[in-house]
Amino acid sequence: MAPDGTTNLDLEALRAGAYAIAKAAGEAILAIYATDFAVSTKADASPVTAADVASQTVVEDGLARLTPGVPVIAEESPAPAFEERRTWRRFWLVDPLDGTKEFVKRNGEFSVNIALIEDGVPVLGVVHAPVAGLTYTGVAAHAGKPASAWRLDAEGNAHPIHVRPPTAEGPVRVMVSRSHANAATAAFIERLREQYGEVETTARGSAIKTCLVADGTAHFYARLGPTMWWDTAAAQAVLEAAGGAMTEASGGRALRYVGEALSNPGFVAAGGTSCGV
């Protein structure tokens, strides 16, 4: 174990590999996006398409080559039993197509999410938005190197990103879910309004909302309802590497990926070390 808490992994090499895999998965998604694809319904009533499955195949095959022997939890495959998972110190978390509802609506607001988990902590994250051609990546501090977060354009040009905490100057910008608005989120926004004054909200799909907090476009994103590990881990790694925090809405603890359940409590992604309200 390294002094900063991570094992001695070459996270930069893994970031480059995961980025290439996410881009390839995005190409598989776009090939189906251009067709008259069918939509099925899973047991939890959420939609699934051939693009979800095709992307997951690309990602799982790519990760098997990148890190042989490191297990993967991915949305479209049954997770191993907890008795097996509880022995893992390191694993990948994958949402092959985050925002399937937005994919079905053809609004372009979906992403490929790949995260590497070490002892419950997301230490590497890649969030790729195929339609926009944008990719966000983040790695935790490791091997004496500081944390770093980047936004890459369609040509692969990388730009460092950092959060922008809210101030008394100008409006507070809040990302909200396009498909999962609720009363708790409205109450959170009202508390921000009471504390900061003017609040501007922008609706968007997928993990890109958290990445827009990471790059300073927005100050907060609250998801005060159920999500799964693969929905959040990659974007959390990006956000934390950019200086922000993703914390439980009650208690303020950072989201962690341990235990039997693969679900998260309600959370707030903030351009600072806490939600501030």
3-class secondary structure per residue, the chain:
CCCCCCCCCCHHHHHHHHHHHHHHHHHHHHHHHCCCCCEEECCCCCEEEHHHHHHHHHHHHHHHHHCCCCCEEECCCCCCCHHHHCCCCEEEEEEEEECHHHHHHCCCCCEEEEEEEECCEEEEEEEEECCCCEEEEEECCECCECCEEEEECCCCCEEECCCCCCCCCCCEEEEEECCCCCHHHHHHHHHHHHHHCCEEEEEECCCHHHHHHHCCCCCEEEECCCEEHHHHHHHHHHHHHCCCEEEECCCCCECCCCCCCCEECCEEEECCCCCCC
CATH number of 11-160: 3.30.540.10
Domain 172-270, CATH: 3.40.190.80
Enumerate the CATH 3.40.190.80 domain ranges in the chain, comma separated: 172-270
Q: Predicted confidence band at 152 (pLDDT cuts at 50, 70, 90)?
A: very high
With cut-offs at 50, 70 and 90, classify the pLDDT of residue 223: very high
pLDDT band at 273 (very low <50, low <70, confident <90, very high): low
Give me the pLDDT at residue 163, please: 97
Q: Where in the chain is the domain with CATH 3.30.540.10?
A: 11-160
